[in-house]
Amino acid sequence: MLRAFAAFASASLLALTTAQPAYAQALEPADKTALFLSQLAEEDLSALIRFTLPSAFGQVQTACRAHLPSDSYMYQNAPILAQRFQSAAQGSAAGAVRVLTPLAAAGELDADMAGLFSRMPPEVVAPFISELISARLAPEITPETCTPINRTLELLDPLPAENMADLVSYLVIMLARDEIEKAPNTDG
């Protein structure tokens, strides 16, 4: 359930190669993603989650429309959730932009492009980040993830969207760190 919801945050964060310790070269792609996530600042990942919640929620709604009943929590509360996510996204673009540098270091984003974007106002870069996340998120939303996402949204409903983002950020980073600790040691 958390994994499906955490796709909001981690769908665009792919494997690391060059900017990590030498042992990262021998890790499986999932372990490299975990390493990358484990090294992000929690507040930056939370800002990225808050920033992407409106577009991610829109994508989830579109992808799950045929797989959830019309009386599901997500559809019964769509306008309220969309407004809450939009409000939470306000002011989070700068934190989301800070994730561009680690993305470039990971080889996921061209370093020159990341440098250019880091010198631009966050509001100018915001549409690029939204598109990047949307492109990575789309394949992650499958019919099997719709019900768990719906249930997760329902369970987290009492929390403000900012707290949802903080909770998911914390859990994603803790799970990533746990995964790295369990990865085979290749130091010889």
Among residues 56, 71, 72, 83, which one has the least CA distance to residue 141?
56
Task: Give pLDDT tens digits for 54-80.
Answer: 888 988 998 999 999 999 999 999 999
Average pLDDT over residues 152-177: 89
Q: What is the pLDDT of residues 16-62, one digit of tens each?
A: 222 233 333 344 555 666 777 777 888 888 998 898 888 889 889 98
Predicted TM-score (pTM) of the model is 0.72
Domain parsing of the chain, residue ranges: 2-9+28-182
CB 85 within 8 A of CB 57: yes
